[in-house]
Amino acid sequence: MIIARGGFLGIGRDYAAVPWQHFRATAALNALVLNVPKDALENAPQVYPNLGSTAFEQARPQIDQYWQQHVRT
């Protein structure tokens, strides 16, 4: 899942890709909660959602490696 982080009113915002297994649904199933340490999200590799799926697939090994090393599910 690609999530926005940081910024104010859309300025200075960047994006990170987070694997699904780090989210959990609330009891009412109406929201997802990200269950990772704050610093893990802050230091996660930045992705650029407007570049399309090819760019994401090229970045995916780095993204997967980061999450495997920094957060255990």
pLDDT tens digits, residue range 8-64?
Answer: 877 788 899 898 888 999 998 899 998 888 899 899 998 887 777 788 888 889 999
Show the domain range for 53.
2-70
The pLDDT of residue 57 = 84
Judge whether 15 and 2 are in contact, CB under 8 Å: yes
Residue 35 one-letter amino acid: N
Number of domains in the chain: 1
The pLDDT of residue 2 = 87
Q: How confident is the model at residue 73 (pLDDT cuts 50, 70, 90)?
A: low
Q: Is the pLDDT of residue 7 over 80?
A: no
CA distance 58 to 18: 15
